[in-house]
Amino acid sequence: MHPDLAALLICPECKGGFAFDAVATCGSCARSYPVADGIVSMTRADAYTALDEIDYDAVYRLSSDASHAFVRSCLSMLGDRMPSTIDTFLEIGAGTGQFTLGFLKQVPTRTAVVTDISSSMLGACRRRLVENGVPSAGVHFVTWDGADCLRRDAFQLIAGFSVLHHVLDFQTMLATLAGAMRQNGIAVFLEPNYRFHLALIDTVCEIFVATQDDPCWSAEDRLALSDWLFENNTNLRFRGDAEVLAGREDKHLFDGDQLAHAASAAGFGSVELVPFGGRSECYVALEVYSNQIGLRDEARADLLDRFSRLLPGNFGHLADEDLAPSTLIVLRRDGNGNRRRSANQVPIRGGAAPRFAYDIVITTGHDSEGEWTLTAQGWVLGDTDVRYLAISLDGAAYRFPVQAIRPDVNNAFNARRVHPLRRSLFCGVAGATPRRLTWTGGRAAGLLAVAADGREFLLAQVELPQQPGIVTTTRVEAT
Ligand SMILES: C[S@@+](CC[C@H](N)C(=O)[O-])C[C@H]1O[C@@H](n2cnc3c(N)ncnc32)[C@H](O)[C@@H]1O
Ligand SMILES: [Zn+2]
């Protein structure tokens, strides 16, 4: 291992130092770590990112010009928080090098350790640096997704752009990074902003409902938009719910308070939140997203036009720090930074017991090992925010997230105004994997709606068949 890299890493197993010149062999326990194509591997064999399956640069329209412009914006927003030269730099989740390239070109850096969970991302990043004339001598590539292999007090600058929300246990990762940062160092992360996205997605939901009979929208356009809303809505309303989010690529959507708590629990003494962009960012943000939704030009133009007419709308309720789609988070180990708090309050609705309507198909069957399974499909609407449909059986509860758009239901109920539909656009249970039952033979199951605040409401009692089969339970008139 190159001496400059060996000075910054330790063996994750025994915490010893790496031998110089040996490939990547621990000088204490002699354990060897794989090196392929010059990239040292510190990830487990099953490390995975779904982003490897897309053409990342094409989807996110990355280029060297875009990279330079992105870093210029970051540096101007960071101002004198960013030192003018860097001795040791660690980047996590570098991907194909959007930040890496612009940064190494613009800020003199002695040693850079560029990491990502994916070796193919790092390969693309290295090609980008070489093609743009970044000298390779001081740049080292390591696959990393949180391993305890960083030397304490080693890095002057740690950066991670749009990566923390991909990491299920970001709390432990932050603590590892806090330990690896020099006492007077600085860590910078960029993360999508929760409240901004809530306002954005709520606005696009209104547009989705309004485009129902609009001839500029084809059925495919509406399906594309509903898929996009489904993805974003899941990240928003199942925030913090590991059961739903663990298997997804995006695992978190942070708000400032959550990040401040996490950083302080990780051992950082100061947290600053810097909105990434100005007040006109709402429109720009949707413009960028609209390229990724897959709409025809006509529908895309209509989406943007309707959006601009709804502004400021939901965005008018946001605090200044939430008025940009993402936030730069600047962390230090000492406690001298200042922290601006958000004054946002979520209104709580009191009052009458909620009413529900639903149409649920429960299917029972056997899995490949002959065990009983159960799955649910359909929709449930309530005038409270229904998060899960649950089936209780023999003392166990099987939960299914309510997260899909059901345009058929939306059309019917919206026209008749049976329910306030703002919360209920996402009323469908879709593609739920069958749950294995610990079935002791009871047949009486309860069908429940679980609200966002955890309250449970019994919708119906259902008799399950003794043979594999289906049971449909429907109530269309709300009571
Ligand atoms: C949205 S991309 C951002 C890439 C790059 N920083 C940029 O700004 O273009 C997220 C990156 O995080 C990486 N990643 C995903 N999960 C990770 C994990 N658990 N640990 C480290 N990196 C991870 C992905 O491979 C991907 O390159
Ligand atoms: Zn060792």
CA distance 80 to 87: 16
345-365 average pLDDT score: 71
Which atom of ligand 1 is closest in space to residue 91's alpha carbon?
A: 6
Q: Is 145 in the pocket of ligand 1 (CB under 6 A)?
A: yes
Distance separating alpha carbons of residues 186 and 334, to the nearest angstrom: 10
174 lines ligand 1 (CB under 6 A): no
Q: Is the CB of 51 under 6 A from ligand 1?
A: yes
Question: Is residue 445 within 6 Å of ligand 1 at its C-beta?
Answer: no
Residue 116 C-alpha to ligand 1 middle, in angstroms? Answer: 6
pLDDT over 60 at 423, yes or no: no
- Residue 479: pLDDT band (50, 70, 90) is low
pLDDT for position 196: 94
pLDDT on residue 263? 95
Q: Which atom of ligand 1 is nearest to the CA of 145?
A: 20
Does 394 have pLDDT greater than 90?
Answer: no
- Find the angle CA(430)-CA(199)-CA(315) to the nearest 5 degrees: 165
Asked whether the predicted pLDDT for residue 66 surpasses 50, the reply is: yes
- The pLDDT of residue 345 is 32
Does 97 sit in the ligand 1 pocket, CB within 6 Å? no
**Residue of 89, 103, 166, 248 to mutate, ligand 1, most atoms within 8 A of C-beta:** 166
Query: Could you count the other beta carbons within 10 Å of the beta carbon of residue 14?
Result: 13
Per-residue model confidence as pLDDT tens digits over 195-216: 999 999 999 998 998 888 899 9
* pLDDT given at position 341: 38
**Per-residue confidence band for 294, with pLDDT thresholds at 50, 70 and 90:** very high
pLDDT in tens, 436-458: 988 767 789 999 999 888 999 99
Distance CA 35, CA 126 (A): 15
- The rounded mean pLDDT for the chain is 88
Q: What is the pLDDT, as a whole number, of residue 325? A: 93
Residue range 402-422: mean pLDDT, rounded: 68
> Residue 342: is its pLDDT beyond 50?
no
Stretch 95-116: mean pLDDT, rounded? 97
Average confidence (pLDDT) over 124-129 = 96
C-alpha 62/C-alpha 56 separation (Å) is 8
Return the best residue to mutate from 117, 150, 171, 188 for the ligand 1 pocket (most ligand atoms within 8 A of CB): 117
Least confident piece of the model among 9-23, 128-142, 270-284, 422-436: 422-436
Is the pLDDT confidence value at 62 over 60?
yes
Ligand 1 pocket: which of 43, 49, 144 to mutate (most atoms <8 Å of CB)?
A: 49
Residues 6+ apart with CB under 8 A from 84: 107, 108
pLDDT confidence of residue 25: 93
The CA dihedral of 240, 278, 201, 241, to the nearest 10 degrees, is: 0
Ligand minimally distant from the alpha carbon of residue 192 = 1
Distance 264 CA to ligand 1 centre (A): 23
* Spatial contact of 457 and 451, defined as CB atoms under 8 Å apart: yes
95: CA distance to ligand 2 center in Å?
A: 28
Residue range 422-432: mean pLDDT, rounded? 76
CA distances from 413 to 220, 372, 416 (A): 22, 35, 5
| Cβ of 102 below 6 Å from ligand 1 | no
Position 337 scores a pLDDT of: 47
Please identify, by atom number, the ligand 1 atom nearest to the C-alpha of residue 168.
19
Cα(268) to centroid of ligand 1, in Å? 22
Q: What percent of the chain has pLDDT over 70?
A: 92
CA of 136 to the centre of ligand 2 (A): 27
118 lines ligand 1 (CB under 6 A): yes
d(CA 419, CA 477): 10
Which of 266-275, 346-355, 418-427 is the least confident region? Answer: 346-355
More confident residue, 369 or 432: 369
The predicted model gives 91-110 an average pLDDT of 97
Predicted local distance difference test score (pLDDT) of residue 171? 96
Find the ligand nearest to 14 CA: 2
**Ligand 1 pocket check for 49: Cβ under 6 Å:** yes
**pLDDT attached to residue 346:** 34
120 lines ligand 1 (CB under 6 A): no
Q: Is 99 in the pocket of ligand 1 (CB under 6 A)?
A: yes
Question: How far from chain centre, in Å, is Cα 89?
Answer: 25
Q: Which atom of ligand 1 is nearest to the CA of 116?
A: 22
Q: Is 254 in the pocket of ligand 1 (CB under 6 A)?
A: no
The Å distance, Cα 356 to ligand 2 centre, comes to 59
pLDDT for the residue numbered 383: 75
- Considering every ligand atom shown, identify the ligand nearest to the alpha carbon of residue 57 and give its number: 1
Task: Say which amino acid occupies 177.
Answer: L
Ligand 2 center to residue 36 CA distance, Å?
A: 19
Q: pLDDT per residue over 210-253, tens digit each? A: 888 899 999 999 999 999 999 998 999 898 888 888 888 899 99
Is any ligand 1 atom within 6 A of the Cβ of residue 98?
yes
| Cα 75 to middle of ligand 2, angstroms | 38
Residue ID of nearest Cα to ligand 1 atom 8? 161
C-alpha 419/C-alpha 209 separation (Å) is 14
Show the 3-state SS of the chain. CCHHHHCCEECCCCCCEECCCCCCEECCCCCECCEECCEEECCCCCCCCHHHHCCHHHHCCCCHHHHHHHHHHHHHHHHHHCCCCEEEEEEECCCCCHHHHHHHHHCCEEEEEEEECCHHHHHHHHHHHHHCCCCCCCEEEEECCCCCCECCCCEEEEEEECCHHHCCCHHHHHHHHHHHEEEEEEEEEEEEEHHHHHHHHHHHHHHHHHCCCCCCCCHHHHHHHHHHHHHHHHHHHCCCCHHHHCCCCCCCCECHHHHHHHHHHCCCCEEEEEECCCCCHHHHHHHHHHHHHCCCHHHHHHHHHHHHHHCCHHHHHCCHHHCCCEEEEEEECCCCCCCCCCCCCCCCCCCCCCCEEEEEEEEEEECCCCCEEEEEEEEEEECCCEEEEEEEECCEEEEEECCEECHHHHHHHHHHCCCCCCCCCEEEECCCCCEECCCCCCCEEEEEEEECCCCEEEEEEEECCCCCEEEEEEECCCC
